[in-house]
Chain A
Amino acid sequence: MNRQSHTPPSRRNAGTTRRTFNTGLAAAASLLAAPAIVRAQGGPLKVGVLLPRSGAQASIGQDCQRGVDVAGPILKSLGLPDLQIMNADTETNVEVARARAEKLVNDGAQLLVGAFDSGQTTAIAQVAEQKGIPLVINIAAAPPITEQGYKFVFRNFPTAPMILGDAFNNQKEIFAATGATPKTVVFMHVNDTFGTAMSKAVPGLMPKFQMPYKIVETISYDPTARDLSVEVSKAKATGAEALMMVSRLNDAILITRELVKQRWSPMGVLSMGPGWYEDQYLKTLGRLSDGPISLVPWYDPNKKLSKQLEAALAKQFPGINLNTNHIYTFEAVLVAADAFRRAKSTDPKALAEAIRTTNITENVSTGPGIRFDAKGQNVQLKNSAIQNRGGKLVTVAPKAASNAKPEFPMVAYDKRR
């Protein structure tokens, strides 16, 4: 764990001598054996941030961390109080996530934020509930997390059904706005946990949302495959008008290259997952990256705070576009600071009460703002449709949160200059 305050800690980068090493060793031992929870009663709110910054989810965890790293000056500009950030790495592991949460609480964390993954978040939620420390979930979509009757767990992220529902609604809005509606789609998805879950949910929900197209074929593939030419030719052979995707980054790049090589330009690529909007996709493919539409939890580019966050990120991390990971992790910290301001206390129970009555309208994510229902879920959240345009991302739906009109059908690959 690392304590990172908006005022730099005095011990950071101090020279190491044998004496300080021994002191550190003794301190580490005493920290491990400290018999009671130490909670600061005054000063800044201590926020424990738990993210998978190493292991399988390392890149995402580190990306989420950027949302915390840029938060300080923005919160200050909003007149919100100072926070003392205590970082912890969950190592993409449920056991470690729980142990790190216990450690943060033991070290005096008065509020927890995390942890990207549903399994790790569930383990942390139990610690939060047992200790009576509020947990603000940044990203985790499994519905059961807020169905357990927890009193200290709050989630400012859409659940899986919310994400899918909005994805269908936004597609219909795009079709209506452009007057172009595909009648058939081929559904390609990765065969990992996420892709498999989506492959089951999508066909099941389509009738409920009265989607205008039908899935003519479903093709699953390994996300680590080095060659997807067979899958793409199979998809092309179906004669489907559009391509619906649930993919990861590398396979999204491979599929795009195959689309170009096999001279197949569908009306559009409708992605319900990562890959197609990621920085690496845009950088690797250049003008070939233009066109795909991703239906994801996103931000409203018209909101003042979005512009502020975008600028702060560009300044601190040049070359990195604002994305879901930054947005929702930043908003979790925003919820913490807002609750602290209203509670006027670092007492976890007072903080939980304050979070329960959160009503933030000046936020970043799409939707009217941040409010939690009785279960601790922000049900007001909306998702967006974003389109790759000239190496950038523009929001094309919902209209209220858009900054560009959708281009659908997308420009054929062989007609791009």
Chain B
Amino acid sequence: MMKRLLHGVPLHATVLLALLLAALVVAPAFANDYLLTVLIVILYFAYTGQAWNVMMGFAGQLSLGHALYVGLGAYTTAALYVHFGIGPWIGMPMAILISVACGAIIGFLAFRFGVGGVYFAILTIAFAEFARIGFDHFSWVGGSAGFFLPVANYSHDDLMNLRGRPAMFYYVILALTAVAFLLCHALMRSRVGYFWQAIREDEEAARSLGIDTFRYKMYAILISSGMTAPAGVFFAFYYNNLFPEQTFFILRSIEIILGPIIGGVGTLFGPIIGAFLITGLAEVLQELLTWYGFDPPGAKRVFYGLCLLVVVMILPHGVWPPLSRLLRVDRETERTGDKAEP
């Protein structure tokens, strides 16, 4: 299986990937809790960005409502835990199922009736907003007053119930990100992945070649929504409070897509690089400003804006394609295109 996964990947790219993974695995031994928290945020956005990338990057379907699946995953497992004492790992399949069901409804409505492009994006926003308003009135999970998970000062890690110290959460989100990376890598090089790319490039042409575009677009939304739900589980148990206004809000969806856009839509490393850039560099920027005695509120948001500006104007395919060429880790077969991948 490993041989299949690594087929066509340059040796030094494999080495670099292994080094990155090793550095991330040993990070808690050297990093303080602050750095660990920043890394958790980075990996959280890398994971959700990867899940979103399946829809937009692979299949070309723009979703601006992925906060919906995060929220459904979060509320499902949190409610099962608080009301029935069901742990997050047991609740996770239910969370994924609900997210997938919701994705199926959106996908069916959109793809069956030919809703595409910007109209599909609006539909995804609409569903996220429906959920926000609905959960505002759903008193079983706290409604608009918020849903709180019981917390305590944990002296040991309880992985089964996701109760514990930041280091445990770090390894959980690192594992999720690694699994998502491998899954996306496998998907990208599968028959489904090639069909998605054909649909992304030209749906009419793909259909004329006999690709059942409805079916494969449905696969994309089902897999993407299902992948996003575990991020919600993580969010609920790490932050321990959920408010519909904050969980389903469109800004949450925008935050999810920033990483892949800056890193490179449709690439495997794009969401990861993007998450590192927007969160990591923003933290460094904040530190520098503090060091020089400046305290401008919202400096990071300006930085996000500048990043987007640079990407749109200079690197329209994101940071990863040129970076991969620079590092010479792009596939031999794909070096001619902008969507180079290891």
Interface residues of A (CB under 8 A from B): 1-4, 9, 11-14, 16, 20, 24-25, 27-29, 31-37, 53-56, 58, 61-62, 87, 89, 91, 94-95, 98-99, 102-103, 105-106, 118-119, 122-123, 126-127, 129-131, 142, 144-145, 148-151, 160, 192-194, 196-197, 200
Contact = CB atoms under 8 A, between A and B. Distances in A.
A109 B55 CA distance: 43
Contacts of B241: 94, 118-119, 122-123, 144
Given A119-B146, A193-B244, A89 B298 contact: yes
A54 B304 CA distance: 13
Contacts of A151: 153
B84 interface: no
Given A11-B291, A14-B293, A142-B148, A102 B34 contact: yes
B188 to A, nearest CB: 28
Interface SS of chain B: helix, strand, loop or mixed?
A: helix
B90 to A, nearest CB: 23
B288 A91 contact: no
B315 to A, nearest CB: 23
Contacts of B245: 192-193
A54 B152 contact: no
Given A53-B298, A102-B37, A196-B143, 20 more contacts: A4-B295, A11-B293, A24-B291, A24-B292, A28-B288, A29-B284, A32-B35, A35-B31, A54-B297, A54-B300, A55-B298, A102-B36, A106-B32, A122-B240, A123-B239, A144-B146, A144-B148, A151-B153, A196-B137, A197-B145
B151 interface: yes
Contacts of B292: 11, 14, 16, 20, 24
Interface of B: 30-38, 41, 44, 136-137, 139, 143-146, 148, 150-154, 165-166, 239-241, 243-246, 251, 283-284, 286-288, 290-295, 297-298, 300-301
Contacts of A31: 287
A55 B301 contact: yes
A283 B290 CA distance: 36
Nearest to A132: B153
Given A98-B239, A102-B33, A122-B239, A32 B287 contact: yes
Contact of A129 (B136, B153, B298): B153
A119 B34 contact: no
A15 to B, nearest CB: 10
Contacts of A196: 136-137, 143-144
Most chain A beta carbons < 10 A, residue from B31, B143, B152, B295: B295
Contact of A118 (B35, B146, B297): B146
Contacts of A149: 152
B145 to A, nearest CB: 5
A58 B298 CA distance: 9
Contacts of B30: 33, 35
Contacts of B38: 32, 99
18 contacts: A12-B293, A14-B292, A14-B293, A31-B287, A32-B283, A54-B300, A56-B251, A99-B38, A99-B283, A102-B34, A102-B37, A119-B241, A123-B240, A129-B152, A130-B153, A142-B145, A144-B241, A194-B144
Contacts of A144: 146, 148, 241
Contacts of A103: 34
B148 to A, nearest CB: 4
Contacts of A25: 288
Contacts of A11: 291-293
Nearest to A123: B239
B297 A62 contact: yes
A331 to B, nearest CB: 22
Contacts of A106: 32-34
Contacts of A1: 286, 290, 295
A149 B152 CA distance: 7
Nearest to B35: A32
Nearest to B298: A54
Contacts of B44: 95
A28 B151 contact: no
Contacts of A99: 34, 37-38, 41, 283
A2 B295 contact: yes
A122 B154 CA distance: 16
Nearest to B286: A1
A27 B293 CA distance: 13
A126 B151 contact: yes
B151 A148 contact: yes
Nearest to A51: B297
Contacts of A122: 148, 239-241
A356 to B, nearest CB: 16
A200 B143 CA distance: 10
Contacts of A27: 287, 291
B144 A193 contact: yes
B35 A33 contact: yes
A91 B241 CA distance: 17
A160 B151 CA distance: 21
A208 B298 CA distance: 44
Q: Which 10 A-B pairs have the closest CB atoms?
A: A54-B298, A2-B295, A12-B293, A53-B297, A28-B287, A102-B34, A144-B148, A193-B144, A54-B297, A122-B241
Contacts of B35: 32-33
Contacts of A9: 293
Nearest to B155: A130
Nearest to A104: B34
B307 to A, nearest CB: 16
B301 A54 contact: yes
B295 A87 contact: yes
Contacts of A197: 143-145
A58 B301 CA distance: 12
B246 A13 contact: no
Nearest to A199: B144
A35 B31 CA distance: 6
Nearest to A23: B291
Nearest to A196: B144
Contacts of B139: 200
A148 B148 CA distance: 10
